[in-house]
Amino acid sequence: MAITNFQAAKDYLRFLPVLQDLPKRPFLLLYDSEADVLYIDFYSLPKPSSNSELTDNDIVIRYDDEEEIVGLTILNASQR
């Protein structure tokens, strides 16, 4: 996706402060256009999840055995 104007770029730049506070490690980001689902795994080799919850805004939060968030599944991703 190309950013075509300054306003669109500003929308993305507002996430920079959040990114600074995240752990610094490789992660995986996959988009399935047929299902319109975005998968975010916070580990470059995805950790298995033992529990998950579906939020009111169609985001599945995946947890490992220690209740650490290991990934997110965002449903209807193109509508966000």
Q: pLDDT tens for residues 13-28?
A: 776 676 677 667 888 8
Residue 57 included in any domain = yes
Half-sphere exposure of 68 (CA within 13 A, CB side): 9
Question: Locate tokens 């579906």: which residue?
Answer: 54
Enumerate residues 6+ apart whose C-beta is below 8 A from 32: 38, 39
Max Cα separation, the chain?
44
Q: Supply the range of the domain harboring residue 75.
A: 25-79
- pLDDT tens by residue, 30-67: 999 999 999 989 888 889 999 999 999 999 999 999 99
Answer whether 39's CB lies under 8 Å from 30's CB: yes
Considering its fold, how many domains does the chain have in total?
A: 1
Question: Residues 61, 52: contact at Cβ < 8 Å?
Answer: yes
Q: Is residue 49 part of a domain?
A: yes
In a domain, 35, yes or no: yes
Tell me the pLDDT band of 5, cut-offs 50, 70 and 90. low
